[in-house]
Amino acid sequence: MSLLRKSKTLLSKLFLASALALLPTSNLRAEGTLWIYNQVGSYSNRLIVRHRDSLGLTDSYNSGYDSTYLAPLAQRPGSYSVLPDATLVSTDQRDSNTTNSIKQKLVFNGFNPSDVTNRLYFTFPNSTNIFDGKCITLQECDTNDSPFGPSYNIRDTIANSNGFLNIGTLSNGTYNVNVPYKQFLLWITNAPPETHSVNIENGENFGLAPTNFTGVSAGGSITSSASTAYYTNSPGSRTKINGLKEK
C-alpha cells in the first residue's frame, strides 16, 4: 500500500509501522456469559462470569445479580472470584464496559489422598452471547495479583482444545480451604490494535521528507487517533491521516 504516488525521481523512502487505533480507556459494549469449571479428579465446581449492558452494575457486589461463594464440602475443590470490595462470589456480573480483571481463586477443602489431574474447562453457555469483538485471556498470578507465566487466549482454548486447559496436578496433601493454592487473572477487553507495515515513498520535487509526519521519526509509529499525523501530497497541502488499512 502506498500513501503517495511515486514521483519520477525517488530520493528517499521512509518505512513506518503503523497501528490502526489506540487502546481505549473503556471497553466496547458487548454482553457475554462464560462458565469456568475447575475439574480436580472426578469433582468439579463452576465460576460464572457475565457482562451485561445498561443495568447500572458495578465491579463490586451487585445484590440480585452476583451470587456469594459457599465453601466446598470436605475433600472437594472450589473456586470463586474476589471483587474489588473483597466480596467472594461464584457468579460475577459486571457492566460490559468494565476494564478490570476477574480475580479467580482455586481452593481445596482438606485432605487430598493422591495426586490428581487438575484443569480448567471454559464454555459459552449461550452461543449468541459471547462478548463479541473482545479478547478473553487468562494468566496465573501470585498472592499479590501480579501475573506471571504464559497468557492463554480462551477463545483459542475453546476452539482448539475443546475448552480444556491443564493447570498441573493437585498433589497429595492437606489443604486449607481458606487459602487458595492457585489463582488467575481473567481479562475480557477490547481487541488490541492491528499493526500493518506501509511504505511511504517521498520525492524531493514534491517537497516531501520524513518530517512531514509530525512528531514521527523513521521507524516510528502513528495511530488513527493521532491528531498531528499528516502526509503531504503537494507543496503547501496537507491531508490528515484518519486510519491506515490493509490493502
**192 confidence band (pLDDT: 50, 70, 90):** low
Output the DSSP codes for 162-229. Answer: TTEEEEEEE-SEEE-TTS-SEEEEEEEEEPPPPEEEEEEEE-GGGT--GGGSTT--TT----TT-TT-
Residues 17 and 38 in one domain: no
Among the residue ranges 60-74, 119-133, 140-154, 220-234, the one predicted with the least confidence is: 220-234
Domain that holds residue 163: 32-190
Four-CA torsion 34, 157, 181, 146, nearest 10 degrees = -90
pLDDT at 236: 44
Q: Judge if 55 and 16 occupy the same domain.
A: no
What is the predicted pLDDT for the residue at 132? 83
Considering only CA atoms, which of 56, 137, 133, 51 is closest in space to residue 92? 51
Same domain, 167 and 208: no
CB 13 within 8 A of CB 211: no
Are residue 181 and residue 209 in the same domain, yes or no?
Answer: no
In angstroms, the CA 150 to CA 156 distance is: 14
Please, which pLDDT band fits residue 55 given cuts at 50, 70 and 90?
A: confident
pLDDT above 50: residue 65: yes
Q: Answer yes or no: do 97 and 212 share one domain.
A: no
pLDDT of residue 243: 44
* 3-state SS class at 7: coil
- Classify residue 212: in a domain, yes or no: yes
Say if residue 123 is in the same domain as residue 92.
Answer: yes
In a domain, 3, yes or no: no
Q: Are 126 and 167 in the same domain?
A: yes
Q: Which runs of E-coded beta strand occur in the chain?
A: 12-19, 32-40, 43-52, 67-68, 77-82, 88-95, 102-108, 110-112, 116-123, 134-141, 147-153, 164-170, 173-175, 182-190, 195-202, 230-234, 237-240
pLDDT at 129: 82
Provide the pLDDT for residue 27. 60
Under the banding of pLDDT at 50, 70 and 90, the label for residue 122 is very high
Compare 30 and 131 and report the one with higher pLDDT.
131
What's the grid cell of residue 220? 516510528
Number of domains in the chain: 2
Closest CA to 157 of 121, 183, 193, 181: 121
User: Per-residue confidence at 30, pLDDT binned at 50, 70, 90?
Assistant: confident
